[in-house]
Structure formats: structure tokens, C-alpha cells
Amino acid sequence: MASAGPASEFFEVCFLPSGLRGTVARGTPLREAARSLGLEIESLCGGRAACGKCQVRVLEGESAGHVSALSDAEARARAAGRLGVQERFSCQARVEGALAIYVPEASRVGRPIVRKSASERECALAPAIHKYFVELEPARVGEPRGDWDRLHEELCSRFGLDVALSVDPVALRTLPETLRVGRGQLTVTVWRGREVIRFEPGFHERALGLAVDLGTTTLGALLCDLATGTVLAQASTHNPQIRWGEDIMNRIASANREGQLALMQRSAAEAIGELARDATLAIGATPADVVELVVVANTVMHHIFLGLDVHSLGVVPFSPTVSRPLDIKARELGIPVLPSANVHLLPIEAGFVGADNVAAVLAEAPHETDALTLLIDIGTNGELVLGNRRRLLSASCPTGPALEGANIRFGMRAARGAIEKVRVDPATREVRFRVIGQPRWSDRILPGDIGALGLCGSAVLEAVAELFRAGVIDRTGRLYAEQPCRRLRQGTDGMWEFVLAWAGETAIGKDIALTQADVRAIQLAKAALYAGSRLLLERFGAPRPDRVVLAGAFGSVIDLERALAIGLFPDCGLDNVTAVGNAAGDGARMALLNVVAREEAERLARRIEYIELSTTPGFNDQFVAATQLPHAEDPFPSTELRWSPHAAPG
């Protein structure tokens, strides 16, 4: 600073609300002054008064002439209504004396945003993507350097990007046309300060990112504005891989068959492309505007999505090919978005505990509290994390798809027409239920107007809990009744079943019943979750968790009281159980918006201790014991089914 001028040419400048202050040479633009004190003010245009991002307000000193007069660019912006009467562009206004400057939140780099998810955790913005507006002079005769070389120099000198900055070769192909159309003015999209991935003619502020939860059964995506963190649109679709099997083990078996892996990979990539198309269409953009993706998935979906052989995931010791986080070009994976966009895959924990679980932990942050948290992510596979600030354990439970309504005779997805709630009168064993899309219970509607189509996962669980409480299911899970009941009958295949909806109440023209096999499927699922939870608690050396967090779509719709009643997870008091919805999707969004969260995810994945349940001594006994239903208020003795066929409905 010694060479900048005499001592009298330095003035004290204070920035609010941070309170940062220091002395700055006369003539320094306010944005530079802030930076010299360690405060970054937004700028997309690199100080050309083009983007309007760097606005500040002069609180003190303006009337005393301590700030330079309005520049031409500022005057034009104010006339056009782009610059308020009290605001200045901090790239234009210069220090001429002591000043106090207010930096509004919108102008601060790294401002906090509030997540729209259940947990409401704050997430700072630090996206992988930054955009820069550049004006490139036309090449002169005798200029030996290429356009990209001159642009590279401009990006490095004006915006301080590293000289190792490279350019994606596919993006490079668009540079000549971009320069022609924009007459030298262009917006450059840079990934992690390292690589240019897009050239657009003129000034374009918006950058779109897509956070994808690639589930075994469904895919969900959030389209985000990477500059603000706002969720602009959502989209979801079925996983088209369902034709290769409903659960993970079937997918592995299919992928092991000659030529299927590549087809399965492509179908996942195309499904993500579909989500990108639907979500961008909703806001008038195109998939090519999606410049960054984060994908979370369980280990098997993750590997298939990468085109990786999953053979080793199907046999002991269930070892993945890769667990570290990866960044891969969208075009390498065949996702129809911006070809040069990067797809970030969060790390895998181990075995079946995948990147989706890492994302859920990232979002729910059990490692940031002292309370012992049991995080249960119920999808086609159940994933458990137990821990607190001190230690984190995880396990994967083979719940099967019953809790999602699959492999259930009348099971269906949680869509319009699905029965989602079930109540059984313990005295009469009569049933009322509620159908998705109908605000009223079935006993308040004319039977012909109910239009039930089947049972979604939550209804199956509730039915089991209600029938258990009503004494129609005993502790071993058998359908049973001491007295005749017209809803309990033997089906044509000889299997016992309990009718929940009569044919006249459905849109399918036949009775919707819960079968003995359905009850068994729920028992196995709940036994897997319960025994897994117990085993983690034993490992942790704690009798019970302080709180239970249910993640996943299923976790949001089930009746927690009834879930506890059948022993879906260890009891810690209903008040300490919360359902947080799609925590994996929330975590994916955090990683999309913040590269620091990606690093945190990597640390978490390494830190979480994975317990392989299937090879852990004692798990099988725990599992068998947990298939039993706990005593209800009015327990039934665990005896043989004492039922006579005359009780069947006539």
C-alpha cells in the first residue's frame, strides 16, 4: 500500500451488518474495498456494471461527498429502474472519504438460505457453478492466440480464476457461434473454478441444477436455482427398471444377465432426463439449461446407474466397486441435459447402505446433536443409522417392498384410489377406511362413490395394527377369530384373508382383502427393521434411542402410533418420533447447492461404522423374535387358529 499515495489518501470504511472496517485508498471501488477487508460482494459481470448484483447502500458519508458521483452506467440503471435511489453499484462507486456501507443480503456471497424441508436446517449457498459475464474484443490482425486463450486470460485476470482453468471440449465447440451471436459479449459457466462447461451469448444470470433421488421404485427430482437456492420445480416418475425386478436382489440378478446392465443403465439415465424435461418445462426452460446434477441412490441403483457390474453386491461380503464420491459428465452417463454438465454422486457407505442414506444423514444431521437418534429410511430397502455427535452406526435391513405396497395381493403405490388409512372396530370388527383423493372416510360416503383400487403401504401396516388390536391377528401373526366374523374367510386358494373393502366399495369389482401372506410380509419387514435397530442399540450400548426420525415417502404417511403398536421400531415415546419425508432428496439438494456439504458427506460416509447384519451373530435370533407382534391392550393367546368356515361372509 506504500506506493498507493500519501497517508492522507486513506479513509476508514465500515461495512454493515458485518461490522468489518478498515482503511482503504481513495478511489478504490466499494466492492474492492469490501474484498480487501475479507467481505465478498456478488458480481457476475466482473465489475462492468452489467449484472446489478453488487448493490450496496451508503449509510454515512454520501452527503459529505465521501463517495464518487453516480457513474454513467449507474445513471442508466437508475433511469431504467434497475438501481434504487438509495443504492449504488459497489463496482462503480468509489471511496472518496470515510464511509459506512450497508451490504444487503442479496449482495452477499455465501448468504444463508432456509431449506423448505421438514428439518428446516439452514444451508449456506456455495454452489459448484459460477457464471461470469465477459466482453471479448474481436481478434486483431496478427493476434496469434485463439479466442479461448484470450477468454482464458480475461477470466483469470478479471475474476481471479486459476490459470489451470480448462474448457470442456464439447462446450468449446459452441464458442465460435456464441461469440458471433453475442458480438463478443458472453456468459461463461464455470464448474468448481476449474472447468468452463457452457458459453452463452450475452448476459445470462440463471443457472439451474437438479437434485435427484434415484430410488429402486421411484425417482424424484428438485430443480433448483443455483444462485438463490430456490426450488423452482419438482418432478417424479417410476423407476423404469421395475421391468428388471421390483427389489434390489432381482435387479442384481437381472444386471448379471448378458447385455442387461447397459440397458438398465440407459433406462435410469433416460428417466432422469425425463425428470429434467418435466421440471424445466414447468418454468419455461429446457433440459440443456441444467448445468449441474447431484444424484443419490442406494448402492445397487448407484452402480447400475454408473454401468458398473453389480455381481459382487449380490454375494458376501457385498462389496461395492466404488464408494468414493464421483463427478462424471452427463453425456458420459447418457443423461439428456447440458452435455458438459457434471453429475456428482455422493459417496456410498457400505454394502447396501448407499449415497441416499448419506444424503439423509447429511440432511438430518444426527452427528450434530447429543441426542441418540435412530434414523430409519424406509424404501424398498430399509436403512438405519443410529448415533449422535460421538459415534454413528449404520445397517441395511432387507425389508422387502411390502411397506411400499408391493408384493401385497391388493397392494399398489400411494396413488389416487389407494386405501391409505384403515380402522377396525375392536368390538364389531367392522372396517372403515379412507381412499387417497377422498377427504372423507368410507362410512361417510355412498359405497358406490368410494372407488377403492387397492392398498398402499401405509394401509397394509395400519390394517395389520388394527386387526392385531381387534384380536383378528394373534402374536404370531396368524389371522384368527374366536367368534365368527363375516370378513374373515378362506379364499379360493385356501389362504385366510380379511376383507377390508367389499366389492361394492371398490372400483375393481371385487373384495379388497388382506391375506395371511400379506401379514407375513409386513411381519418380516417390521422384524428386519426392529431387529436391526435393536442390534445397533446393543452395539452402541444404549437401551433405546432418544428420538426416532422416519425418512422416506412411507415414513411420512404411516400412522406413527400404529407403527409403534406393531413394533416397527424401538419405542421411545410417540413425542420423540418425527417423520421428515424425503430426507435423501433434501440431502441431495444440500449437496447440489453447497460443495462444502459434499465434503461433509464424504467425511460422514467414512465416519459411519457399517454393521453387516446378515453375518452378525445373534441377528437371526433377534429377527425371528421380532416377527412376533407385541401384546396389545387385550392380548390373544398364541394358539392354533380356532376358526370355523361358517363365519365367512355370505
Can you give the binding site for its own copies, defined by CB under 8 A? 139-149, 152, 167, 169-170, 172-173, 175-177, 306-309, 311-312, 316-317, 319-324, 326, 328, 332-333, 348-351, 608-612, 615
CA atoms of 69 and 515, how far apart (whole Å): 81
Q: Minimal distance in Å, beta carbon 325 to its own copies?
A: 10
Q: What is the secondary structure of 100-146 as a DSSP string?
A: EEE--GGGBTT-EEE--STT--EEE-B-SEEEEEEEPPPPPTT--S-
Instruction: State the amino acid at position 257 in one-letter form.
Output: R
* DSSP H/E element including 374: strand 373-378
Which amino acid is it at 162? D
Gap between the Cα atoms of 613 and 538, Å rounded = 13
CB of residue 521 to its own copies, shortest distance in Å? 28
Q: Closer to its own copies at the Cβ: 2 or 141?
A: 141
Which three cell numbers mark 426?
Answer: 375392536
User: CA nearest 460: which of 405, 505, 508?
Assistant: 405
* Nearer of residues 196 and 208 to its own copies, judged by Cβ: 196
The sign of the torsion formed by the CA atoms of 78, 83, 86, 88 equals negative
CB of 26 to its own copies, least distance (A): 38
Place of cell 451508503: 58
Is the Cβ of residue 104 or residue 307 nearer to its own copies in the bound state?
307
Our CB check for its own copies shows the closer of 1 and 316 to be 316
Amino acid sitting at position 463: A
Angle of helix 248-255 versus helix 260-281 axis, rounded to 10: 120
Task: Give the number of other Cβ atoms within 10 Å of residue 499's Cβ.
Answer: 20
Q: Please, which residue, 119 or 614, has the CB nearer to its own copies?
A: 614
The residue type found at 134 is V
How is residue 557 written as a grid cell?
A: 404417511
> Quick check: bond before 325 cis, omega within 30?
no
Q: Is the peptide bond before 398 cis (omega within 30 degrees of 0)?
A: no
Give the cell for residue 172: 468449446
456 closest CA partner among 420, 421, 424: 420
Cβ 189 to its own copies shortest distance, Å? 17
**74 or 349: whose CB is closer to its own copies?**
349
Collapsed DSSP state (helix, strand, coil) of residue 487:
coil
Ramachandran area for residue 251 (φ above 0: left; ψ -120 to 50: alpha; else beta):
alpha
58 vs 86: CA distance, rounded Å: 7
- Give the nearest distance from C-beta 320 to its own copies in angstroms: 4
Closer to its own copies by Cβ: residue 157 or 639: 157
Q: Is 61 helix (H, G, I), strand (E, B) or coil?
A: coil
Q: Which residues pair with 625 in a beta bridge?
A: none
Nearer to its own copies, 36 or 321 (CB): 321
Whole-angstrom CA distances from 194 to 57, 321, 592 are 33, 27, 17
Task: Select 149 or 621, whichever has its Cβ closest to its own copies.
Answer: 149
In the complex, least distance from residue 360 CB atom to its own copies, rounded to whole angstroms: 17
Output the smallest distance, CB 310 to its own copies, in A. Answer: 9
CB of 580 to its own copies, least distance (A): 25
Residue 155: closest CA among 129, 175, 134: 134
| Residue 374 bridge partners (DSSP) | 386, 548
For residue 508, the tally of other CB atoms under 10 A from its CB is 14
- Residue whose CB is less far from its own copies, 40 or 177: 177
Q: How far is the CB of 371 from its own copies (least distance, A)?
A: 25
Least distance CB 277 / its own copies (angstroms): 24
8 Å CB contact between 351 and 360: no
* Helices marked H in 1-104: 30-36, 72-79
Task: Give min distance, CB of 353 to its own copies, in A.
Answer: 8
d(CA 456, CA 463): 11
Whichever of 140 and 390 has its CB closer to its own copies, that residue is 140
- Is-contact 292 127, C-beta < 8 A? yes
User: In terms of CB distance, is 148 or 554 closer to its own copies?
Assistant: 148
Considering the complex, state which of residue 306 and residue 563 has its C-beta at the smaller distance from its own copies.
306
Cα 469 from Cα 632, distance rounded (Å)? 6
Q: How far is the CB of 5 from its own copies (least distance, A)?
A: 35
Nearest distance in Å: CB 610, its own copies: 5
- Residue 179 Cβ vs its own copies, minimum distance, rounded to whole Å: 9
Separation between Cα atoms, residue 208 and residue 203, nearest integer Å = 15
Q: Which is nearer to its own copies, 10 or 148 (CB)?
A: 148
Q: How many whole angstroms separate alpha carbon 426 and alpha carbon 404?
A: 26
Q: What grid cell was written down for 376?
A: 430409519
- In the complex with its own copies, the residue whose CB is nearer, 265 or 523, is 265
Smallest separation (angstroms) from its own copies to the CB of 359:
17
